[in-house]
Amino acid sequence: MGEFVRLEVDGAIGTIRLDRPPMNALNQQLHLEIRAAAQEAAERADIRAVIVYGGEKVFAAGADIKEMADLSYGEMLDWGGSLSTSLSAVAAIPKPTVAAITGYALGGGYELALTCDRRIGGDNAKVGQPEMLLGVIPGAGGTQRLARLIGPARAKDVIYTGRFVKADEALRIGMLDEVVAPDDVYLAARRWAEQFANGPARALAAAKAAVDIGLDGDLNSGLRLETQLFAALFATEDQKAGMRSFIENGPGKATFSGK
């Protein structure tokens, strides 16, 4: 439990809860606490899916500009590298992850959302990468993950202009995957996460690795990785249980242990 970040666990769902009022600005302490929470969520067997949530009012309005404004080039190399590493710890969680977004998710806040597998926003959400308005560029994954998510042309438009993208457009171009009423954001994220509470944990981790790592290379390399991960799952209890259940009872009735 950190001062600004908590990992709350309920029914196999872990929630990484940001709590640095008023806007959850990502200062160094907060992002180090995100890293610690992500690493714990990755390691705990009782957590099968993870929600990243900023609360009822705001997800995270960006990095703490007051903290970084007067840093030197060398200091920013360290600060920015540490922030990128912290957010990448969320991306590395080998479990389904979802960002539950109310209000603003901007700059470093949206970069945090980009590390998740899915993004659910309230109809009041505003997302974007406004770093250009400060004379800089996204520095913790925005140029890379956003371009992979929505394509380079749309990503360049969002990054070049620094504009705040409203929920309806964000849904249309893929910056959000689902839009609900603001009061329903966390519940919608939990409904999605709960699908995996009793799922085949090792197969889910393998699927995530195949997609994420595969996208970093060429198609043939990705296909080889997929084959290796697929074959490796035949060493798991869940593969035996799943295929035995299919033969005996038909699809969708297996009980998985996560082993």
pLDDT tens across 49-77, in order? 999 999 999 999 988 888 888 889 998 88
Residue 117 has pLDDT above 90, yes or no: yes
Which residues are catalytic, by number? 111, 131
pTM for this entry: 0.95
Residue 105 has pLDDT above 80, yes or no: yes
Q: Which residue has the tokens 């009980």?
A: 255
Q: Give me the chain's average pLDDT, please.
A: 95
Full set of structural domains in the chain with CATH: 5-194 (3.90.226.10), 201-249 (1.10.12.10)
Give, for 244, the enclosing helix (H) or strand (E).
helix 237-249
Q: What angle do helix axes 152-161 and 142-150 make, rounded to 10 degrees?
A: 130
165 - beta bridge partners? 127
Tens-digit pLDDT profile for residues 127-151: 999 999 999 999 999 999 999 999 9
Q: Taking the alpha carbons of 182, 184, 186, 192 in that order, is the dihedral positive or negative?
A: negative
Rounded percentage of the chain residues whose pLDDT exceeds 90: 88
CA dist., res. 192 & res. 8, Å (int):
17
Look at residues 142, 83, 73, 150 and name the one whose alpha carbon lies nearest to residue 114: 142
